[in-house]
Structure 1
Amino acid sequence: MRLSQKVRLLSAALVPMFALAACSGGAGGGGGAAGSGGGDAPVKLKVWSWDGTVARAVPGFQAANPNIKVEVVNAGSSQDEYKALDNAIQAGSGVPDVVMFEYFAVPYFAIPGKLADLGEFGVQNLKNDYVQAAWNDVTVNGKVYALPSDYGPSAMFYNAATFKKAGIDKPPATWDEYYEAAKKIRALGDDYYIAQDTGDIFFLLSLIWQAGGRPFKVDGTKVHIDFTDPGTTKAVTFWQKMLDEGLVNTKITGWSDDWNRALNDGTLATQTMGGWLTSTLPERAPKAAGDFKVALMPQWTQGDKVGSANGGSSFGIPAASEHKEAAFKFLEYFAHGGGLSSRVDAGAFVPNTSVLDSEEFRSKANEYFGDQKVGAVLAEASEIVGIGWQYPPFFEWARSIYGDIASPFYTSGKGSLAEILQQWKQRCVQYGNEQGFEVD
């Protein structure tokens, strides 16, 4: 599930990472408390989450663990939550026991020691129940600091009615076919486009990811950024062509009223986003019920099956938690164990192979998507996500400034995506080094 779509984190709100390292280390030193919750003494856990499905797992967990009481608190947007957690760690009080993190935020908290290494709880025994790419997202420098809880494998949501109107009888299997389809849809009229883009960095990175680009390489506190590798260049060049030829709507911003309208009336024919859109699209485009379908992302080479991810989140345990053992019990319960089914029933899209491989998940027809068995498509999309992708530890800050850098290009058409990425790199290098990393 992609969350906090429009968060804009001001650099002033970020606490320098290594200024907090000593604080987290000291608080985490309550190692004697790490076993809290293992005996009969009552324990109260505080869980910070913006995912409403987590609370669904609480009744079952408490029934099985009567000595552990769980309070799930909505700490606000991801930005609000990360800032509040940093502040609590620095103050040495009010630190929650389990916290929700977007995948790209895990390194920010893990590298300076603000998250507990889950290895001591035998977390490796759970590895095979998660798609490989999701497990990779919670692994930093060989250690696992969180459990995946929801996922966003990239998929193409397309309006089959608009495709038919344009003479397209099946979803494009390659990006070359997508390009040809874009021209046919554009020919339907001034308002028709195959897609829209006003500077969505997650979409661009999903193209780069799928094409084999790996622009961020992280090794401890060393970060290397390169937007000139072959995979990145291939993806950026393709999308630049789409923009240059006017095949993409650069006026409609995602999640806006105009976006809803265009999805409803069919003038916006596709959205390549995370699988979480299956739960969002019916609310945004109710008039298009039955018209939208789901397919794998188009491929760069005919016959390939490679994907990427767009969004998703996980849960970790702060190093300063005083109830780590009890916290892990609950974390394992709702992200892997008995509480998983209640969350799936509530709409969570999870990266657990036990769910994705099940006949029930794969064979269930989705009425909104014309009774298509959407689960089977998204399960496959999860399985083919390319591995080896990394985000820099300061990506929360980096994504907040990308829009500012890209905006002039999308409003005036001057410049190029390649130039934008180089400017973005320069800003990231400067900021990362200021935060105590070695960035080049």
Structure 2
Amino acid sequence: MRRGISTVAMAAAIVLGVTACGGSDGDGKKDNGSGKDPASVSGTVTYWDTSDAKNEAPTYQALIKEFEAKYPKIKVTYQNVDFTTVEQKFKAAAQSGKGAPDVIRADVGLIPEYASLHYIAPLDGTAALADTEDFVAGPMNTTKYEGKTYAVPSVTDTLGLLYNKEIFAKAGITKPPATWDELIADSKTIKEKVPGVAGTYVNPDSYFLFPLLFGEGADLADPAAKKITINSPEAVKAVTKAKEIYDTSSLKVDFASAYDNMQTSFRTGKVAMLIQGPWSVSDDLSGSAFKGKESNLGYAPVPAGSTGKALAPTGGHDLAVYQGSKNLEASYLFTQFMTSSASQQQIALKNGTLPTRTSAYTAEVLKDPEIAGFKSIMDTARPRVALPQVGSLFTPLQQQYIKILQGQTSVQSGLDAAAKEFGDLLPGFAQ
């Protein structure tokens, strides 16, 4: 599933107060962000968790019990909130000042918006931010807004190239494509030498367009210059390449059910390679192409564009503290504990998600082929543009991207139309 696609809040922000400041020694023993001994901190922390209620949540619930044992004066009220509804619920609660959680597991793409609305607290100098040098750069970069840190990385992901090794071998292809032109050439070879198999399946979701945009040095907008760049020459080049891949290398796309059909085609061996994230791997391995032969699934970075750089968006979730919390000190300690290296190792081992701390990639954690496969791919991850409105930009771009793929409009005209809609969402930005 794509990350951080949302509707921008239209309500004005309510400033809820200034957070406490202080230092941390990284182990929570001397300073909880206010100069107090953490053992003396008390209160109740309400935590909204958006992880999968059946398969992932038990791991977080077990960690909460460990936290309460370590800090017996702090109690945690756990609530599992559906990922698809949590944004609306949190905004409503934060705006009204009633019912918001003390700590929320938020999609990384939402941090700039929540920070701009003053819904979440800046964490610099608090106990929540411990051993920041241990965090992987990509996830850590998702926590920043206007020079301050508003969240702590919890789990991370990015897009990579997943491929079927058996199909590659039948086609005589010895390595995954390093560029988009190589992907097109490999797809042609696969079509010729492995009848009934397509090279790839183009996902028309605009999130999956980012590797092509980044690979040409393009982006949605430039906040520093206050300029919309989705229709720049670099962006036009990127989307032109995406259209070429669609026309020459993709299995026919069912736009009504594109994601599900893409997954089915790959896991049953009708498609040789996909641009996908680690969240899809368990589904991939359940199909006839990989079940019982998990080593047939290959992992590689996304292909590079003309800049020579392979780049993909950083996804995942961060923990953020509600600025109006009445239990800030306890919330800082809870956030620190849940994002510690030990906690991240436990989460990775139980849930198979990628840690955000370098030290959490232990030999035991790396026994998981999915984590091992995506670890190096994370080096290609870069954050989406840090704009509060970034989530709302996906919809007009996707609408035009689909028209471009279907041949209803030219690349330039489609991106110009997207840029015009961006202008309504980004006041003060030049087009």
Length-normalised TM-score, structure 1: 0.82
Distance in structure 2 (CA, Å) of the matches to 1:198 and 1:382: 21
Letter aligned with residue 385 of structure 1: A
Tell me the CA shift for residue 47 of structure 1.
1.0
Within 2, Cα distance between the matches of 1:417 and 1:190?
Answer: 31
Cα pair distance change 1:192/1:392, threshold 3 Å:
farther
* SS of equivalent to 1:326: helix
Corresponding letter in the other structure for 1:379: K
Q: Which moved more, 1:187-196 or 1:94-103?
A: 187-196
1:185 maps onto 2:190 in alignment: yes
| Structure 1 stretch displaced more, 389-398 or 328-337 | 389-398
Q: Which residue number in structure 2 is paired with residue 425 of structure 1?
A: 419
Partner residue of 1:62 out of 60, 68, 74? 68
8 Å CA contact retained: 1:223, 1:438: yes
2:216 equivalent to 1:214: no
- For residues 310-363 of structure 1, the C-alpha deviation after alignment (integer angstroms, 9 at most, x for no partner) is 53121111111111111111111111243222211122212211123x33344x
Selected match of 1:314 from 296, 311, 318: 318
**What is the CA-CA distance between 1:234 and the residue it aligns to?**
3.9
- Answering whether residue 99 of structure 2 is matched by residue 97 of structure 1, we say no
Q: How many residues align?
A: 409
Distance 1:416 1:438 in 2: 24
Task: Compare relative contact order (CA 8 Å, sep 6+) and give the higher one, 1 or 2.
Answer: 1
Equivalent residues of 1:173, 1:297 under 8 A apart: yes
| Aligned match of 1:350 | 355
Give the gaps of 5 or more residues in structure 1.
Answer: 367-373
TM-score by length of 2: 0.84
Aligned: 1:270 with 2:273: yes
Secondary structure of the structure 1 residue equivalent to 2:381: coil
Paired with 1:134 and 1:331, the residues of 2 have a C-alpha distance of 15
State whether residues 236 and 417 of structure 1, in contact with CA within 8 Å, keep that contact through their aligned partners in structure 2: yes
The Cα shift of 1:208 comes to 1.5
CA distance 1:239–1:203, shift in 2 (3 Å): same
SS at match of 1:262: helix
5+ long unaligned stretches in structure 2: 22-32, 52-56
The 1:401–1:211 alpha-carbon spacing in structure 2 relative to 1, beyond 3 Å, is closer
Q: Hey, what's the Cα distance between the residues in 2 that align with 1:37 and 1:72?
A: 25
Does the CA contact (< 8 Å) of 2:63 and 2:343 recur in 1?
Answer: yes
Deviation track 1:209-264 (CA, whole Å, cap 9, x = no partner) reads 24432332235xx84320245653443232222223354532364432x3343123
Does the 8 A contact of 1:263 with 1:288 survive in 2? no
Question: Does 1:294 pair with 2:290?
Answer: no
Q: In the alignment, does 2:402 pair up with 1:396?
A: no
1:382-422 Cα shifts (integer Å, max 9, x gaps): 124357x5143112222244443434444x42223443333
Q: 1:262-304 CA distances to partner (integer Å, 9 max, x unpaired)?
A: 1232111111122333344224x254232321122223469x6
| Off by >4 Å, runs of 4+ in structure 1 | 2-5, 29-32, 34-39, 122-125, 188-191, 228-231, 437-440
> Do structure 1's residue 176 and structure 2's residue 181 form an aligned pair?
yes
CA contact (8 A) 2:211 2:312 kept: yes
- Provide closer, same or farther for how the CA distance between residues 132 and 264 of structure 1 changes in structure 2, counting only shifts above 3 A: closer
What CA deviation, in whole Å up to 9, does each residue of 1:86-138 have, x standing for no partner? Answer: 11122221111111221111111112322100013056653211221221111
Give the Cα–Cα distance (whole angstroms) in 1 for the partners of residues 297 and 42 of structure 2. Answer: 50
Which of 377, 382, 398 lines up with 2:378 in the alignment? 382
Change in 2 beyond 3 A, CA 1:131/1:216: farther
Q: What amino acid is the match of 1:329?
A: L
The 5 A counterparts of 1:71-90 are 71-78=77-84, 80-90=85-95
